[in-house]
Amino acid sequence: MKTTYDAIIIGGGIVGMATAFNLAKMNFGNIVVLEKEMFVGAGATSKAAGGIRAQFSSQVNIEVSMKSIEIFENFEAITGEPALFDQVGYMFVLTEESTLDPYLKAAELQKSLGMDVQILGPEDVKKIAPPVRVNDVIKATYHARDGLGDPHEFTQGYFRACRKMNVEVLTECPVTGITAAGGKVTGVTTPQGDFSAPLIINAAGPQAGLIGKMAEIDIPVQPFRRQIVTTGEVDFIPATMPMVVDVSSGLYCHKESKGLLMGWADPDVKAAFDESQDPDYNDNILMKALDRIPQLETAEVANSWAGLYETTPDHHAIIGFDDKIAGFFTIAGFSGHGFMHAPGAGLVAAEMITGRDLSIDLDRLAPNRFVGGAIEDEINVI
Ligand SMILES: Cc1cc2nc3c(=O)[nH]c(=O)nc-3n(C[C@H](O)[C@H](O)[C@H](O)COP(=O)(O)OP(=O)(O)OC[C@H]3O[C@@H](n4cnc5c(N)ncnc54)[C@H](O)[C@@H]3O)c2cc1C
């Protein structure tokens, strides 16, 4: 077995696979992805709701999203692998005066960056998303180019494209240590043996902070449990139904198979590697969902699961080289938006690593930003 590479990527989720794909496309050299689970995409990626959107409040998140949407739209042409991006749009429904200002301000920024985001009144909300109760809706923001994708399908697409370009992917291979000498990384240790490379890429999702500790680097990524509930078949959700976010209650929902998928970030959840399901969660979310979509009264719960968001203090990803130890690169901390941001982030990370001009200025996401004091938060986190 080969043990020396040009790059070792820790983590075979959508972010690690997108980074590997882009590096391989840029002919970076010998790349290996080390994944602790039995399959790629078995971590947070397997729990994602599949939402893809560019409606964010910070410029860098909007730009990473827009680049990603461009890639999702052209995925087969870029990777040679088919995967469906169902552009049904995203709608943020605003029912309280206090939420209008931040969302309308964000929409202005989105428009200034080239997005065709629309501000809707209740009648248009009803036209686009008929099951939504609108009698208390003041406005909504809507972007038709947003939509839904299957995280498994896109991760497998990147995986297959990587394999065609001779990227090695070793599963059941947990990284247990990082080796360094003279202020530079030299490799990693695993139960399958030691691997050496002058570049280690930390794409370990919710575990990115633990990988940082192995290199004695503080990477402020914390795991927060997030849950999802799906219903069985219902007959009132049209195929064109967008992702709907009820900003005041925090509920988000979209069509899933012939039913509805629902999520909500419980603010009482504390940081922990806990993927158990809170028994009260289903009742809580069904109350919120019934309030916004009364026809759900007839629906039955089909499935539910829990996974981990990989959250940073400012809800922005961390992308870049560490400035204390040479050759250690982090691409993690997407704070619940790693599926939708992986294509653009993986591209720009590879540009950064290979010294190319960057498609997007990622200074705002630099790993050392947290030492400098106040940083602007992303408000549009669900
Ligand atoms: C309930 C839920 C809903 C979500 N919905 C959305 C959504 O709609 N849209 C969206 O964009 N995002 C969503 N997300 C967030 C999204 O899932 C993540 O941001 C994204 O999957 C992160 O990808 P990743 O590759 O960084 O992490 P992961 O998929 O977790 O990949 C990291 C990989 O690293 C591996 N690993 C960790 N430690 C080691 C080690 N020591 N050695 C080797 N391998 C290691 C893990 O096994 C894992 O496979 C959701 C998340 C949850 C939990």
Using alpha carbons, select from 345, 22, 337, 367 the residue that is nearest to residue 151: 337
Q: Are residues 121 and 229 in the same domain?
A: yes
Q: Are residues 342 and 273 in the same domain?
A: no
Q: Are residues 99 and 124 in the same domain?
A: yes
Q: Are residues 299 and 157 in the same domain?
A: no
pLDDT of 377 reads 85
The answer to whether 315 and 299 are in contact (CB under 8 A) is no
Beta carbon of 36 within 6 Å of any ligand 1 atom: yes
Pairing state between β 147-149 and 85-86: antiparallel
**Would residue 78 count as lying in a domain?**
no
Q: Are residues 163 and 216 in the same domain?
A: yes
Q: Are residues 268 and 330 in the same domain?
A: no
Site of tokens 């909500």: 264
User: Can you tell me the distance from the alpha carbon of 236 to that of 90, in angstroms, rounded to the nearest whole number?
Assistant: 18
The answer to whether 221 and 311 are in contact (CB under 8 A) is yes
Helix ranges (H only) for 51-207 are 59-73, 75-79, 97-112, 122-128, 151-164
- Compute, in angstroms, the gap from residue 31 CA to the centroid of ligand 1: 20
- 28 Cα distance to chain centroid: 25
The residue whose CA has the least distance to atom 34 of ligand 1 is: 11
**Residues with pLDDT less than 50, the chain:** none
Beta carbon of 22 within 6 Å of any ligand 1 atom: no
pLDDT of 378 reads 86
Beta carbon of 35 within 6 Å of any ligand 1 atom: yes
Beta carbon of 44 within 6 Å of any ligand 1 atom: yes
Beta carbon of 64 within 6 Å of any ligand 1 atom: no
Q: How many CB atoms are closer than 10 A to CB 126?
A: 16
Beta carbon of 255 within 6 Å of any ligand 1 atom: no
For the purposes of burial, counting CB atoms within 10 Å of the CB of 291, is it exposed (0-12), middle (13-18) or buried (19 or more)?
middle
- Compute, in angstroms, the gap from residue 26 CA to the centroid of ligand 1: 24
Site of tokens 């938060």: 377
DSSP secondary structure letters along 184-209 = EEEEEEETTEEEE-S-EEE--GGGHH
pLDDT of 65 reads 98
Domain count, the chain: 2
- Compute, in angstroms, the gap from residue 336 CA to the centroid of ligand 1: 8
Beta carbon of 175 within 6 Å of any ligand 1 atom: yes
Of 284, 309, 334, at which residue does a domain stop? 309
- What type of residue is 141? T
- Compute, in angstroms, the gap from residue 338 CA to the centroid of ligand 1: 7
User: Can you tell me the distance from the alpha carbon of 197 to that of 185, in angstroms, rounded to the nearest whole number?
Assistant: 8
Q: Are residues 289 and 194 in the same domain?
A: no
Indicate which CATH number applies to the domain containing 38.
3.50.50.60
Using alpha carbons, select from 60, 65, 6 the residue that is nearest to residue 353: 6
User: Can you tell me the distance from the alpha carbon of 83 to that of 86, in angstroms, rounded to the nearest whole number?
Assistant: 10
The residue whose CA has the least distance to atom 50 of ligand 1 is: 48
What contacts 234, CB < 8 A, 6 or more positions away? 258, 259, 260, 295, 296, 298, 299
Of 309, 337, 357, at which residue does a domain stop? 309
**Predicted TM-score of the model (pTM):** 0.97
What contacts 295, CB < 8 A, 6 or more positions away? 131, 234, 236
Would you say how long the chain is, in residues?
382
User: Can you tell me the distance from the alpha carbon of 276 to that of 107, in angstroms, rounded to the nearest whole number?
Assistant: 36
pLDDT of 381 reads 85
Using alpha carbons, select from 27, 18, 10, 111 the residue that is nearest to residue 72: 18
β-bridge mates for residue 129, sequence order: none
Q: Which domain holds residue 243?
A: 90-144+223-309
Indicate which CATH number applies to the domain containing 273.
3.30.9.10
Q: Are residues 214 and 290 in the same domain?
A: no
Using alpha carbons, select from 334, 346, 344 the residue that is nearest to residue 381: 334
User: Can you tell me the distance from the alpha carbon of 212 to that of 208, in angstroms, rounded to the nearest whole number?
Assistant: 6
Pairing state between β 243-246 and 251-256: antiparallel
Q: For residue 226, which atom of ligand 1 is closest to its CA? A: 1
